[in-house]
Structure 1
């Protein structure tokens, strides 16, 4: 059952304070995402499915759902659904939810036999037919006026995920100093350990496009409060766009969240993600490639050769300039430093320009393997110098000519290894 609103402005636009943030890490050319309203109309489904996870919320459930339903009916211009996800409640929550579903159009109930907010969102989002999915805490601590700006860029196809932030410019937050301190410390830890660029991981006010959820959810394993953070980190590292909306937020004084237990679970989750990224077991590159496929075919061999040659010529010129500048240090020392500096720059340039690999995914691995190739080049050039100097002190012009020839040979070897090993497309896809 869905609800079709009778009033509302169809041109939903973000507020003036809304901040768009392109969180791209895997910088792939983005495929054009279809407008979710058109997709929903073709399928005969609601545009938006708002999930409200609950556990033993008999006191405030009815008032909150009625308030949310009233807001959507009057302020949201598209068909919607409210899904109450009951996390194995032991009080009258389920009975109240079923009564609300019978009274209010567009309200349904999903019963889960196990607890966990992450489990509830994973289950409902994975099976929903709506093209845009959202969730909010049952206490409605976030002002519902932020809902339209939250989902507008997802409906249009501009962004993949959207989050409410209590730490953004324009946010108005009422909460105690203890929770404020904990929240800021947690987000600081995320920035320091996981390089998170979103400002608020745990605000219970988020939305995601269903196509993005289909790519991310199979790789999100937390079933509790860390679910949000894991989802956002994977989205960011997969190159998805995360839209942030400053929200007005009032702390629920009756919140039953165990802060200590939640903090411990969050730290364990951070450690698990760090381990997964270090081992390469989280396929963020493949996720990003599936959601945002390349807009054009990969460069042909001829085009790669031309681009590689361009980079190679520039690298050789830079190498010669550095070598001449450092020659007073000795031929071998100057060769080592000049080759090392240009090798790092050469790998980065070929990664982006020649082989079309963008963003920071596997960049450390690529540079390491590039240094292995550099070692081969060093052996060729240093070996040529050693042989040359074995027969006496050569003229400067002869020395440079030998180095140029050795560098050209090293360049050919470098192209073969970069194309067939370091940036091989099958490895990137895996």
Structure 2
């Protein structure tokens, strides 16, 4: 069967990244591939010029689509894009292209080896992170690997590919949706951990593949300040605890 893949890029206030030409990078790579592809950009009610820039790009480039949403948070944006995906494989990737779209070539072959999910991995070092983000990452990795998904090194890399039918079945069951979580802002959370845990719990085969990663993000929605570090650390801890409690209650069976 000929390869076909849908690529979902969530967007919230990515004007600075868009002005760097990230979508041109995506198009330049994909236009050289022999397989069928589509790019679905889910704009989560950006308050900057992201929507205007994306619309101008989509109007001139084939196989790119824009969905403009009311604000619902990153998981909601991904889910809407996922519902629109037409092809048997789907890739979630971030707008900043810290993991370049070219790394997709490292993921795709593993689907022929029986894997249902193939995720990019940055390993455990984050050379371009500030000291604060390195500390947050170390704490998160240690606690997550101690209690959940001990065989997976990197759950938070924003470069993940799935069999579309598999992830469409699992993604709407995330606590973010079932427990009606707070949808304010573009908060980084551990929903990736819960998604991978649920997939593993259901017996799906997951492959982790090393990918290139350089912190290219220039958006205003993320940062290294101490206040954000504290908030995200607390949120991460809560998310991991929530997955543990849900698992003990049998909610993932």
| Bin of the TM-score, shorter chain as denominator length | 0.7 to 0.9
Structure with more contact order per residue of length (Cα contacts < 8 Å, sep ≥ 6): 2
Question: Any conservation in 1 of the 2:121–2:154 contact (CA below 8 Å)?
Answer: yes
Q: Quick one: which of 242, 250, 253 aligns to 1:280?
A: 250
Alpha-carbon contact 1:36-1:157 (below 8 Å) kept: no
Contact in 2 for aligned 1:87/1:115 (Cα 8 Å): yes
Which residue in 1 is equivalent to 2:199?
A: 235
Offset, 1:85:
0.9
Distance 1:189 1:36 in 2: 41
TM-score, length basis structure 2: 0.84
- Structure 1 alignment gaps of length 5 or more: 1-34, 38-46, 284-430
* Partner Cα distance (2:206, 2:135) in 1: 24
CA distance in structure 2 between the aligned counterparts of 1:280 and 1:219, rounded to whole angstroms: 14
Instruction: Work out whether residues 166 and 203 of structure 1, in 8 Å CA contact, stay in contact via their aligned partners in 2.
Output: yes
1:117 Cα offset (Å): 1.4
From 158, 164, 169, the equivalent of 1:210 is 164
Larger displacement relative to structure 2 (79-88 or 212-221): 212-221
Q: Do the aligned residues in 2 keep the contact of 1:126 with 1:217 (CA within 8 Å)?
A: no
What's the CA shift string for 1:70-125, capped at 9, x where partnerless? 01112x32111111110111122112111111100110001110141111112211
Q: Structure 1 109/125 Cα, relative in aligned 2: closer, same or farther at 3 Å? A: same
Out of 208, 233, 237, the position equivalent to 1:244 is 208
The structure 2 residue matched to 1:73, chosen from 28, 31, 38, is 31
Q: Is the 8 A contact 2:8 2:91 kept in 1?
A: yes
Total equivalences in the alignment:
236
Once the two structures are TM-superposed, the CA of residue 218 in structure 1 deviates from its matched residue by 3.0
Distance 2:235 2:217 in 1: 22
Q: In the TM superposition, what is the alpha-carbon distance from 1:129 to its structure 2 partner? A: 1.5
Please tell me whether Structure 1 or Structure 2 has the larger radius of gyration of its CA atoms. Answer: 1
Match of 1:146 in 2: 103
Shift of 1:196: 3.4
How many Å separate the matches in 2 of 1:36 and 1:122? 25
Which secondary structure state, in structure 1, belongs to the residue aligned with residue 39 of structure 2?
strand
Q: In the TM superposition, what are the counterparts of 1:4-153 in structure 2 within 5 Å?
A: 35=1, 37=3, 47-61=4-18, 63-74=21-32, 76-153=33-110
Work out the CA distance in 2 between the residues paired with 1:152 and 1:61: 29
Provide, for residues 189-229 of structure 1, a one-character-per-residue CA deviation record: whole Å limited to 9, x for no partner.
11112243211011111111112112212321326632211
1:236·1:242 contact (CA, 8 Å) conserved in 2? Answer: yes
Contact 2:148 2:197 in 1 (8 A): yes
Q: Does the CA contact (< 8 Å) of 1:126 and 1:213 recur in 2?
A: no
Distance 1:67 1:254 in 2: 16
1:259 Cα deviation after fit: 3.4
Structure 1 CA distance, aligned partners of 2:218 and 2:49?
A: 18
State the distance in 1 between where 2:85 and 2:218 align.
Answer: 31
Q: CA, structure 1 residues 36+172, in 2 after alignment: closer, same or farther (shift >3 Å)?
A: farther
TM-score of the aligned structures, taking structure 1 as reference length: 0.51
> What does residue range 255-404 of structure 1 map to in structure 2 within 5 Å?
256-257=221-222, 258-283=228-253
What corresponds to 2:115 in structure 1? Answer: 159
CA distance in 1, matches of 2:75, 2:193: 10
CA contact (8 A) 1:126 1:214 kept: yes
Question: Is the helix fraction higher in 1 or 2?
Answer: 1
What whole-Å deviation, never above 9, does each CA across 1:151-176 have from its counterpart, x for those lacking one? 3323x3621111111117xx895433
Counterparts of 1:233 and 1:106, CA distance in 2 = 32
Deviation at 1:138, TM superposition (A): 1.1
Query: Could you say what the CA RMSD is over the residues aligned between the two structures, in angstroms?
Result: 2.2
